[in-house]
A and B are shown apart, each in its own frame.
Chain A
């Protein structure tokens, strides 16, 4: 796409005006026709253009009790007064409350915690604070900002305030000084878990005087990571009690549905929520782009990367500063290359377009961040690495190549564009993934719904037991101690059976006694906060002299690393030559081929304990899942043709987890006017679509939820329930079940909420399938044609119709067939 200079625009009188004009020009070009107050057009390429009106700032004067040196330093930095949320944060923290702040990107959120923390340190220099960031880079960024501020405070005649990061990169000789001198230690949960808590006596000074624990980017702690963090915070608070301190928590979060609940769940303390932002915001446009359909039969759309390239080009050639978010490292590199190519003819422009992702050296990253702040970098293509609060200033346009997966992340990325006064835009280009299509075609789902709930399950036994071990290592447990909601005394009893702890004290006396760690090991080393078990497969490239090129968690090992599988790292293809299951190693070799593989797995779900929904359509509870990879298929790149397959014999993986399931009543199945095979296809297609909608509703990754099919309790044992990607069951009987299970051993809390959202889940699934452009089913709705039968789409819709409308017990007579699904869903039907 050649870049044409724009010559027809009138000469701008100022930068802001010029940018406003350029932005208008680009938007008018992208979305011709009305673009103010425009109606949604789900079938078009531009499915929605929404305008967010500008917001004025709300200020408050500096609070009376604030240390004058801190106030002077802030005034010296140009802050004549505070935004109202900053003042409120200060007041609530002063009143001893734990707070969680959710205000938009670039609203001065960091001052909400820096203000009370610095104030407390100035008033009592023995005070200490611990800041937790999900990544090392964020901690570095925050440290730079704090240093700037503390230098200004020192200039006001205050003693130096020690601000240090403490992470894996901290040199060993600096650590001792930091432990003794840091008023504020900036670290990450992983370091706290493995490097600080197990060595707490060295940190005695910090723990004795710990006044504040700041948790930034709280929304990042959901699922497994959040469940781990909760346990790390339990250990932290246990150690604080030992040293006689009781820190206050200050959290900040992006907009999610339940920030307060999440904070209370993680820290196990009552929180107040500050959500009213006083920061100003300029006018902003949000545009949804759905690439045009190129093959209606197969439901194939134009590549979203090509579409994102076109959109980015429109803004870049109007000299606007643009950030493009790609979904993977590979996509980042591809888009960077494309955009550089597009602007090769414009002198100096190609160099002003940069890529940014994890894996770049820190120095290069700092250089790009600085370039963005100073405007020297005009365009950056990034992974989610720039989604969190790294300071890159505010850009003109944010483009998302692919739906970021959650409403919260979308707003977060959109927030990267938009200065406080000028106009800005955010564009989401949908890929062909079901979730993307759903969002693009139902813009009001995005704009009107509340963002997702962040879920955690800190009492998952796998996670809990690991942290009980770490906690026992750190401080002996007393016979009356508690830790989470599971009876920790019972956990310790089991650990004793394995010789990991010992109960001391006189067994005959009434004294509770204490539990001590009796193993040479250092338990924190064996626990990774980013996964549920530390057991993993390593991938060894035998072509490069047995070099380890990657690792993957235990659960997904067999599906991605089975013999003959194609394993992809940064665009390079490797074939698995052998899988050493017992030693958790896969040996791969570089290959050149034009296909990838997808595993066919078989999974069987057995209900262990029903929590809710006896005899009803929807239920949830504990289940046992055994799964086995039985074969694989070879899929050609680009065309997605099936070009071969193979059989495999791998060990079965078993786990205890939780699941939500939907049982189609016998009557409904019998009433459907299709053949047995068609009905089966319909159930499988419905499950396929439900799984995607479930990940949308749960704010989780597609791999976090497993899908399996089975039969009702009565038919137990008669047929084999078969699930997985493509292993279509021979027959599902006349009372089939769709299981959506938590793909982590022990479960991380998806099932009960999913059961609660049952009506919404069916409703949205219907919207997804009914709204799909394809004729008989495609990967965007009920699954690729050829894998699902020709009637899958029709039957799935009929099933949904029956489940949503036709099954009203005792009221069937009143219910006409045209009663809208929405109305029924809202009536809270007791399915």
Chain B
């Protein structure tokens, strides 16, 4: 007779081999960087209370290994790690000081970017008046490292990184939870330090970082302090400017995204060495929670700091373009993206200037797609503004460009045919355009409408004299 297994044995059989990957205990942290200098008047950030050795020896050791200190509160402990990046520090091929200076020059650009993508607000919340121009010194860049990407009550933000402009450098403070039971202390410390901030900047924070952090505050029954802060999610402008740009969106499938890592490589020439891959980050924290060894976390902290800097750099580049207009860029794709951004801001003339420049840069060159799209948007802008003759001219220029996508060409032909039929009353020209359109493969819906137009044009061409108002009404009988 088989022995009845014990509860533990039966449980093992049920749970069976669902083991999570363990981090190699020898996983290297980054080589210890030379101790960064303290900010000018660094005393401002000195932390008042440091943990008593009896309670948090393990945590103190970890904090020391990471170059941070321990904050002790009634709720628990929090490790705080500070770094200052002075103006002559390098991030890729740029100096931190130059980027700060750029941001100071184009600070109203940040406000424009934010207005182009206003936050979704709960209906009940009253709109608080927002200053049009953010104060650069009140700005905070925020980025989380979490125990998972799925969200939900079991996903924690074990590391919250914050960056702020300080003089002509950047100051980064990171709040690390030294264990699950210390989350409340971590959040409370964070909230205190954030109290004087007036603007938030994130990369993909709108859908990920901020909702997750809000959930953590509400999980711990703490008041979510930043519901009212204006927030710029740099992902949105980044997509506009750089998603379609081939030289940014690298050749490999991994690089076709608009991720921060891809952007920083192409915008600032940052090449990370020994960076921890994102999927490994939760496991490193779990391992730290189990064995208390902080060294594998050093790479996670460094990863987070680089993300913060890159977010700031992406913002600086985007803000510069918005403020200085199409002349600030040599890239047609950036120009096109800028035009669309101006359209969102209802700045019609600026948008048209951008499209014109983007289209001009495509002339005779290898990228008809860019020229086609720019001309199309330009024509739509002109038509919307009532300048139909200019629009027709643009459509014609579009049709004269080789290699434009069939979809765009069809749209252009149709627009021109409408122009010739109803505005210029040049039925012959309209008819030629429709015949051209019919000569190409068309979706049923479009073919039908083209045939209908052709029949109508033929009727009109045979009518002498051309019909008056009534025939025009008949023309536009709905399909």
Q: Is the CB of A200 within 8 A of B11?
A: no
Per-residue interface assignment for chain B, residues 1 to 23, with 1 indicating a CB less than 8 Å from any chain A CB and 0 otherwise: 11111011011111101111010
Residue of B nearest to A199 (CB): B152
Q: Is the CB of B20 within 8 A of A608?
A: no
Q: Is the CB of B148 within 8 A of A520?
A: yes
The 8 Å CB contact of B180, one of A499, A504, A606, is: A504
In whole angstroms, how far apart are the Cα atoms of A719 and B149 in the complex? Answer: 55
Given A474-B154, A475-B153, is A514 in contact with B180 using a C-beta cutoff of 8 Å? Answer: yes
Residues of A463-497 at the interface with B, using a CB-CB cut-off of 8 Å, are 465, 472-476, 486-487, 490-491, 493-495, 497
Q: Is the CB of B147 within 8 A of A518?
A: yes
In whole angstroms, how far apart are the Cα atoms of A519 and B116 in the complex? Answer: 38
Q: Is the CB of A498 within 8 A of B148?
A: no
Q: Is the CB of B7 within 8 A of A656?
A: no
Per-residue interface assignment for chain B, residues 277 to 296, with 1 indicating a CB less than 8 Å from any chain A CB and 0 otherwise: 00000110010011000000
Per-residue interface assignment for chain A, residues 500 to 523, with 1 indicating a CB less than 8 Å from any chain B CB and 0 otherwise: 101011000000001011111111
Residue of B nearest to A491 (CB): B11
Residue of A nearest to B21 (CB): A499
Q: Is the CB of B11 within 8 A of A519?
A: no
Q: Is the CB of A465 within 8 A of B11?
A: yes
Verify if A201 is at the interface (C-beta below 8 Å from B). Answer: yes
Verify if B215 is at the interface (C-beta below 8 Å from A). Answer: yes
Residue of B nearest to A461 (CB): B14
Residue of B nearest to A621 (CB): B4
Residues of B401-426 at the interface with A, using a CB-CB cut-off of 8 Å, are none
Q: Is the CB of B1 within 8 A of A713?
A: yes
Verify if A198 is at the interface (C-beta below 8 Å from B). Answer: yes
Q: Is the CB of A502 within 8 A of B286?
A: yes
Given A502-B286, A518-B289, is A606 in contact with B2 using a C-beta cutoff of 8 Å? Answer: yes
Residues in B with CB closer than 8 Å to A517 are: 154
Q: Is the CB of B15 within 8 A of A504?
A: no
Residues in A with CB closer than 8 Å to B14 are: 461-462, 465, 746
- The number of residues on chain B lying at the interface, defined by a beta carbon within 8 Å of a beta carbon of chain A, is 42
Residue of A nearest to B290 (CB): A502
Q: Is the CB of A522 within 8 A of B152?
A: yes
In whole angstroms, how far apart are the Cα atoms of A518 and B218 in the complex? Answer: 20
In whole angstroms, how far apart are the Cα atoms of A486 and B11 in the complex? Answer: 11
In whole angstroms, how far apart are the Cα atoms of A564 and B156 in the complex? Answer: 50
Residues in A with CB closer than 8 Å to B123 are: 177
Residues of B1-54 at the interface with A, using a CB-CB cut-off of 8 Å, are 1-5, 7-8, 10-15, 17-20, 22
In whole angstroms, how far apart are the Cα atoms of A613 and B151 in the complex? Answer: 50
In whole angstroms, how far apart are the Cα atoms of A592 and B154 in the complex? Answer: 51
Verify if A204 is at the interface (C-beta below 8 Å from B). Answer: yes
Q: Is the CB of B11 within 8 A of A490?
A: yes
Q: Is the CB of A624 within 8 A of B19?
A: no
Least CB distance from A182 to B in Å reads 14
In whole angstroms, how far apart are the Cα atoms of A746 and B5 in the complex? Answer: 13
Verify if B122 is at the interface (C-beta below 8 Å from A). Answer: yes
Verify if A716 is at the interface (C-beta below 8 Å from B). Answer: yes
The 8 Å CB contact of A473, one of B12, B15, B152, B180, is: B152
Interface size grouping (class) on chain A: 35 or more
Verify if A57 is at the interface (C-beta below 8 Å from B). Answer: no
Verify if B181 is at the interface (C-beta below 8 Å from A). Answer: yes
Verify if A607 is at the interface (C-beta below 8 Å from B). Answer: yes
Verify if A176 is at the interface (C-beta below 8 Å from B). Answer: yes
Q: Is the CB of A199 within 8 A of B22?
A: no
Given A198-B154, A520-B149, is A497 in contact with B289 using a C-beta cutoff of 8 Å? Answer: no
Q: Identify which of A204, A487, A516 gathers the most chain B CB atoms within 10 Å of its CB.
A: A516
Q: Is the CB of A498 within 8 A of B152?
A: no
Least CB distance from A492 to B in Å reads 10
Verify if A180 is at the interface (C-beta below 8 Å from B). Answer: yes
Q: Identify which of A199, A462, A499, A523 gathers the most chain B CB atoms within 10 Å of its CB.
A: A499
Residues of A253-277 at the interface with B, using a CB-CB cut-off of 8 Å, are none
Verify if A609 is at the interface (C-beta below 8 Å from B). Answer: yes
Residue of B nearest to A200 (CB): B153
Residue of A nearest to B16 (CB): A498
Q: Is the CB of A199 within 8 A of B11?
A: no
Residues in B with CB closer than 8 Å to A525 are: 150
Least CB distance from B175 to A in Å reads 18
Residues in A with CB closer than 8 Å to B150 are: 520-522, 525
Residues in A with CB closer than 8 Å to B155 are: 522
Given A499-B286, A518-B147, is A607 in contact with B1 using a C-beta cutoff of 8 Å? Answer: yes
Q: Is the CB of A502 within 8 A of B289?
A: yes
Residues in A with CB closer than 8 Å to B19 are: 498-499
Residues of A164-216 at the interface with B, using a CB-CB cut-off of 8 Å, are 176-177, 180, 198-202, 204
Q: Identify which of B18, B124, B179 gathers the most chain A CB atoms within 10 Å of its CB.
A: B18
Given A499-B286, A504-B179, A517-B154, is A486 in contact with B215 using a C-beta cutoff of 8 Å? Answer: no
Residues in B with CB closer than 8 Å to A436 are: none
Least CB distance from A462 to B in Å reads 5
Q: Is the CB of B179 within 8 A of A201?
A: no
Verify if A622 is at the interface (C-beta below 8 Å from B). Answer: yes
The 8 Å CB contact of A202, one of B3, B13, B215, B282, is: B215
Verify if B219 is at the interface (C-beta below 8 Å from A). Answer: yes
Given A498-B20, A607-B1, is A199 in contact with B181 using a C-beta cutoff of 8 Å? Answer: no
Residues in A with CB closer than 8 Å to B153 are: 198-201, 473-475
In whole angstroms, how far apart are the Cα atoms of A493 and B6 in the complex? Answer: 14
Per-residue interface assignment for chain A, residues 669 to 695, with 1 indicating a CB less than 8 Å from any chain B CB and 0 otherwise: 000000000000000000000000000
Listed in ascending order, the chain A residues whose CB lies under 8 Å from chain B are 176-177, 180, 198-202, 204, 461-462, 465, 472-476, 486-487, 490-491, 493-495, 497-500, 502, 504-505, 514, 516-525, 606-609, 622, 624, 656, 713, 716, 746
Query: Which 6 pairs of residues, A with B, have the shortest CB-CB distance?
Result: A473-B154, A522-B150, A520-B148, A516-B180, A609-B4, A198-B152
> With contacts A199-B153, A474-B154, A608-B4 known, what are 9 further pairs, Cβ within 8 A?
A180-B122, A198-B153, A202-B218, A204-B218, A499-B286, A504-B181, A514-B180, A518-B289, A607-B1
A sample of 29 inter-chain contacts (CB < 8 A) reads A198-B152, A198-B153, A201-B153, A201-B216, A202-B215, A461-B14, A465-B15, A473-B152, A474-B152, A490-B8, A490-B11, A498-B15, A499-B19, A499-B286, A500-B20, A502-B180, A502-B290, A504-B179, A505-B181, A514-B180, A518-B289, A518-B290, A520-B20, A520-B282, A525-B150, A608-B1, A608-B2, A716-B1, A746-B14
